[in-house]
Structure 1
Amino acid sequence: MNLKCFSVNYFFSRRRWLYPLISAMVTLSLCLGTYLPSQAVDWLPLILRGVQVVQLSSMSERQEVELGKQMNQEIVGGVKIYRNSQVNSYIQQLGQRLAANSDRPNLPYTFQVVDDDTVNAFATLGGFVYMHTGLLKTAANEAELASVIAHEIGHIGGKHLMKQMRQQAVASGIATATGLDRNQAISLGVNLALNLPRSRKDEFDADSRGLRSLSRSGYAQSAMVSFMQKLLNNKRSTPTFLSTHPATGDRITALKKGISIQPTTSTAGLDTNAYKNNIRPLVVS
């Protein structure tokens, strides 16, 4: 037998999977080059390098959750997570109650407490919500804390961070025709969540969504107003929660209007003693 012919035939028999791949790429290149010349993409280098690209404009829920998990790894690597089991169990139960009554109840929500005495809370993608120990200590009761968590869940419901990431990626020129490099997307999302304020429109939307979740969960609606008013009246310093959440006075006015349109008589969650017992490890530390 001709060994050369054997080796060539063997090579191609072992590489038959290449034909449909090459054919598909050639077809795609022709289509892009013929009909969309301004958006033509050289896919082969991306495939060979194994580049992971995120398309923010058409992300599935599964992809959003996965990106949220990767962002969470970055966040927990840079902050100190509060590990007390009693407090964490309490926060998980409270958060899941609100999430079940949110606009996106099917997400696998994760609620974490950051060991930091600043008054702050934030959310990323795919159901990840974070609150500082300073926030828990500042809230007078469960309903006030629930109002903040509901607000952050409202940001997830409105996909506000995802929209902000897309806008920032385009404005900074790091987005391409194929999308955004996954590592860049993670860094961008973490930075936006931790450091930059939401837009006025997003804040009003998160308040509205949060108020609905709060009401559906049976909490006193007044708690959302009282907590925001408490922080606004704090003349000693501006809490981080408000410095990254603009137009607080206008938001209070809008919340009062929303409550007047669909009022409830519930006073659930206003018991201060019950709340302090639930976060006792924080109170006595």
Structure 2
Amino acid sequence: MRRHLMLVAICLPLCGFGSCTRFIQADQQARLRASEMRQECVALRERVITFEEERSFGDAVSAQWVSEGGGLTTRGDAEALHVQLNKIGRNLAAQSSRPHLPWVFGVLQSEGVNAVSGPGGYVFVSEGLLARLDNEAQLAGVLAHEIAHITGKHALNEYQDYLVGQCENSAQVEEGSAYQEATAQVVSSAGQRLGQGFQNLSQALPASTLREAFARAGSKVQGFDFDQSGREFIRAVTRGFIERMNRKGFRQEDEFAADLEAVELMATAGYAPDEYVSFLAKLPERGGLSTPHPAKTERQVRLLKHLEQLRQQNQASSDFETPVDLSATKVVPLRDELLNRRTPTATR
């Protein structure tokens, strides 16, 4: 109602009743389109993401992670390193709730301390992280943490929220489009008499490439297909999602859940989970990774408490129970290409 009155207030003095009627009709149509788009937003939030979409989105996100990480490592032993990394990673993934994903593990050229993952089974660690490892168990902890993000579908939940947010933003832009267009037409027709003081009103609601792309795809939400959404849309969504992750990271509860799942995967695969806690201690206080993480001290406290609970469960278990067994785990030393990357003088 307030916007309706504003339109009348602008239109009547400048353009007369006839023009004002057209503008108000356009405003009503825009409100209807916005309402329809909001219904699409609800459908978007409630839909189930298929594995095909997860894999396609994971392909796009992982390509972006590789690009931001300077590409995959090109050192002379890169092929052997990737073989070694994939043996370790797939052994851990085999213990997870999604062992049959087409898991891929890679090393980024970046010298920063970083580990990232993409939906569908992609996990990457940086050269800088490998240089700071004391043993293979620490690497296993990092990989297991990223595996847990994938099996928990944490990135897919963020992706869903991101799409819904963009849909709702697009609905707001759509609802404001008639007012913006009407204002621009009024200013244009009255510009010579009133000067250019009101010209900036027509720029009140600029539409970004992403919002425009999503608005075009809005009517296809029920049968949404990431692959068929067009290059512009895919690039915009992927870029926007990565920017969001670099700025916000995962929810804290997802990070803590990934930590707890990681030490259980480590133990099941035979690695000493305490080494992951030790690796966290070597990171800077804010996490040391490119995406935001909870404070390392809180992560360590939660992990140590969880490991103690697992040990108590082992002592109290019967022959018919199968708790995570920490007694048979080992601190596996670095070998071959991983050993070659260890930097003795690196800041630890």
Deviates more, 1:83-92 or 1:163-172: 163-172
Q: Distance in 1 between matches of 2:118 and 2:106?
A: 12
Alignment of 1:203-214 (within 5 A): 203-214=255-266
User: Shift in Å at residue 62 of structure 1?
Assistant: 2.6
- Aligned residue type for 2:88: L
The match for 1:224 is 276
Give the match for residue 80 of structure 1: 71
Q: Which amino acid aligns with 1:221?
A: P
Question: 1:105: how far off?
Answer: 1.1
Distance 1:60 1:145, change over 3 A: same
CA 1:255–1:40 in 2, change beyond 3 Å: closer, same or farther? closer
Change (3 A) 1:283 1:203: closer
Please, which of 156, 160, 172 is the counterpart of residue 166 of structure 1?
160
Q: Which runs of 5+ in 1 are unaligned?
A: 1-35, 42-53
Indicate how the Cα distance of structure 1 residues 106 and 189 shifts in structure 2: closer, same or farther if over 3 A, else same: farther
Q: Conserved in 1, the CA contact under 8 Å of 2:113 and 2:128?
A: yes
Q: TM-score, normalised by structure 2?
A: 0.59
Deviation of the 1:243 alpha carbon: 6.1
User: 252, 277, 282: which one pairs with 1:200?
Assistant: 252
> Which structure is larger by alpha-carbon Rg, 1 or 2?
2
TM-score calculated relative to the size of structure 1: 0.71
SS at match of 1:112: strand
Q: CA deviation at 1:95?
A: 0.7
Unmatched segments (≥5 aa) in structure 2: 1-34, 170-210, 312-325, 344-348
The letter for the 2-side match of 1:218 is G
Distance 1:77 1:201 in 2: 28
Residue 62 of structure 1 pairs with residue 49 of structure 2: no
Matched, 1:138 2:120: no
Distance 1:40 1:278, change over 3 A: closer
Change (3 A) 1:65 1:269: farther
Select the residue among 247, 268, 272 that pairs with 2:330. 268
State whether structure 2 residue 139 is matched by structure 1 residue 148. Answer: no
Report the aligned-residue RMSD. Answer: 2.9
Aligned-pair CA distance for 1:77: 4.0
Q: Secondary structure at the match of 2:125?
A: strand
Pair 1:209–1:57, CA change in 2 (3 A): farther
* Distance verdict in 2 for CA 1:37–1:189, change over 3 Å: closer
Alignment match of 2:242 (pick from 181, 187, 190):
190
Measured in 2, the distance between the counterparts of 1:55 and 1:170 equals 6
After the TM superposition, which segments of 4 or more aligned residues of structure 1 sit over 6 Å from their partners?
36-41
Separation of aligned partners in 2, 1:100 and 1:232: 31
Alignment length, in residue pairs?
231
Secondary structure in 2 matching 1:231: coil
